[in-house]
Structure 1
Amino acid sequence: MARVLFVCTGNTCRSPMAEAILKSKQLPGVEVKSAGVYAVNEAEASVNAKAVLQENNISHDHRSSTLTGDEMNWATLVLTMTQSHKAMILSQYPGAWDKTFTLKEFAEDDLNPDVADPFGGNEQIYREAFLEIKESIEKIVEKLR
């Protein structure tokens, strides 16, 4: 059983899109959640994140949540959107070093380790973030099977 936790800042843009994309793959034995290092609990996904998911025929009912020790204990794999998210997590949960990676690091994408934050941007910026996340998830699907 793989339990994947995607982490970004506010849990309204990148990590919810990543969660929705991976859930849409319907991989047997893979559970998926998302959280944010500075999230406000129960906020909806951003309007543009929802629009881009809908454009791609991915349904997702999301409410944000702050990263907690319980979620870290639940996860067998923690995938962050940036190196700074990873560093923050490892400073708070040093025992998670063996299961915490940036999404792109885990996907073995060496070009740029961070997924840019689309927060406050237009739909096109969200589309670019969506595609960046989707490409990385496509690369890790086999690792999760």
Structure 2
Amino acid sequence: MMKKILFVCTGNTCRSPMAEAIFNHLKQSNQLAVKSAGVFANDGSDASQFAKEALNEKGILCKHNSSLLSEEHVEWATLILTMTNNHKQLVIERFPHAGRKTYTLTEYAQDDYATSQDVSDPFGGTLHNYRNTRDDLEVLLKKLLGKLEE
């Protein structure tokens, strides 16, 4: 059965497009589809320059146009993974019926639910900040893939 994962962050130019690109790069299964959106995104923006650079360093291509989280996204997804607890709360406030399939990425990927820390936002930061976020995402996404492919 096809699993459809939606990554959600704020503007859909840094964390969620990085998560989408890394996940696509890592996944082996054709039974996993992925998209990303932002709770305060402007439709059609490119991923940030540093996000693309940080991904390119790992040989990961990021072709991206941002999109504002919509009912269509929520209906499409079988699993919604947010970058922060605030994003999770916003998704559930706007789309109460999505509550049963919405988690923070950390909460869902980690085995110990005590670690519900947010994925740090590199927006406005240096390339170094973006590399740190990329590396954090890679660790979490490998755990997520392990869980989904079980």
Same fold per superposition (TM over 0.5): yes
Shift of 1:96: 1.1
In structure 2, C-alpha distance between the alignment counterparts of 1:131 and 1:101, rounded to whole Å: 20
Instruction: Report the Cα distance in structure 1 between the residues aligned to 2:99 and 2:10, rounded to whole angstroms.
Output: 19
Q: CA deviation at 1:138?
A: 0.6
Q: 2:129 aligns with which of 91, 100, 125?
A: 125
TM-score of the aligned structures, taking structure 1 as reference length = 0.96
Deviation at 1:77, TM superposition (A): 0.4
Q: Distance in 2 between matches of 1:2 and 1:34?
A: 14
Q: Which runs of 5+ in 2 are unaligned?
A: none
Give the alignment's TM-score, normalised by structure 2: 0.93
Residue 103 of structure 1 is matched in structure 2 by 105
Report the secondary structure of 2:46's partner residue: coil
**Cα distance in structure 1, aligned partners of 2:136 and 2:115:** 12
* Cα deviation, residue 94, structure 1: 1.0
2:9/2:87 contact within 8 Å kept: yes
Cα distance between partner residues in 1 of 2:94 and 2:47: 25
CA distance in structure 2 between the aligned counterparts of 1:14 and 1:142, rounded to whole angstroms: 20
Matched-pair identity in %: 46
Within 1, Cα distance between the matches of 2:124 and 2:145?
30
1:60: Cα distance to partner? Answer: 1.7
Amino acid at match of 1:93: F
Hey, what does 1:115 align to over in structure 2? 119
CA RMSD of aligned residues (A): 1.1
Could you list the runs of 4 or more consecutive aligned residues of structure 1 that deviate by over 4 angstroms after TM superposition? none
